[in-house]
A = this chain, B = another copy of it.
Amino acid sequence: MTHFPKTELNSVHRLPQRGQYDKETIYRIVDEAKICHVGFAVDGQPFVIPTIHARDGDMLYLHGAKASRLLKHIAEGHPVCVTITLLDGLVLARSVFHSSMNYRSVVLFGCGTVVEEDAAKLHALEVLTNQLVAGRWEDARKPTPKELNATTVVALSLESASAKIRVGPPSDDEEDYALPIWAGVLPLRQQALELAPDPRLNAGIPAPEYLSDLVSGD
């Protein structure tokens, strides 16, 4: 399956021309983002929690402390909605009405199961750590059995999803193009600044390349 079936659950209702359902598009956004927002409901009261995520095929891993309310809720089999948004720019149309943003967002739906087995849990933590920074898992001190036991990992099976994307210049009403108002896009991106070594870092430990390569050039 290369596309998620378009159903009532995942259909993009507003501005449906911005909706996309193919896995390649959706997963590229999931993989680029460092955080997601997970929504769940308890007795009709919604909660939205930011957390880190990592994709492994058609699974999405989330993790946290054993006591996490979110993870307990997922473990109980309740449906969740995971939304990921990459903000690419502010769209300044001539009219307030057509002002907008350029963005790439995905909405994922699924139910989760707890990853119980140690090897599977370690694998998930490896995927999560390398999502934070590719290459970090190899370098870092791996979880001890006690730490592994204190961590809950859930795997969400991605059953339904859609992406919504806006790119390009503003789209004004035809008669507004004559107005003497500046219009265009203020592009935004997430920039990595100079590495800040731990004040307690021992002398003679250089920053690894997989980190220094992420720092934006001038």
* Interface, chain A (partner B; CB < 8 A): 9, 13-14, 34-35, 37-41, 44-50, 52, 64-65, 67-69, 78-83, 85, 87, 89-90, 92-97, 99, 101, 103, 105, 107, 109, 125, 129, 132-133, 136-137, 139-144, 147, 150-151, 169-170, 176-202, 205-208, 211, 214-216, 218
CA distance in complex: A206, B182 (Å): 7
15 extra interchain contacts, Cβ-Cβ under 8 A, other than A89-B196, A96-B143, A97-B147?
A13-B69, A37-B83, A39-B46, A39-B48, A40-B46, A41-B41, A45-B79, A45-B109, A95-B141, A97-B151, A101-B132, A169-B196, A186-B193, A186-B196, A188-B191
Q: A200 with B185: in contact, given A37-B48, A90-B34, A96-B137 (CB under 8 Å)? A: no
Question: A71 to chain B: closest CB distance in Å?
Answer: 10
Q: B201, A196: Cβ atoms under 8 Å?
A: no
CA distance in complex: A160, B206 (Å): 45
Q: B202, A180: Cβ atoms under 8 Å?
A: yes
CA distance in complex: A50, B185 (Å): 19
Q: A96, B201: Cβ atoms under 8 Å?
A: no
Residue of B nearest to A179 (CB): B141
7 closest A-B pairs by CB: A41-B41, A39-B48, A48-B83, A39-B46, A191-B191, A39-B39, A37-B37
Q: Would you give 25 A-B contacts (Cβ < 8 Å), ordered by A?
A: A14-B69, A34-B87, A37-B48, A38-B48, A39-B47, A44-B79, A46-B80, A46-B81, A89-B196, A95-B140, A96-B143, A96-B147, A99-B132, A99-B136, A169-B200, A178-B202, A182-B201, A184-B196, A184-B198, A185-B196, A186-B193, A186-B211, A187-B193, A189-B191, A191-B216
Q: Which secondary structure dominates chain A's binding surface? A: mixed
CA distance in complex: A79, B109 (Å): 21
Q: A37 with B92: in contact, given A185-B196, A198-B170 (CB under 8 Å)? A: no
Q: B211, A198: Cβ atoms under 8 Å?
A: no
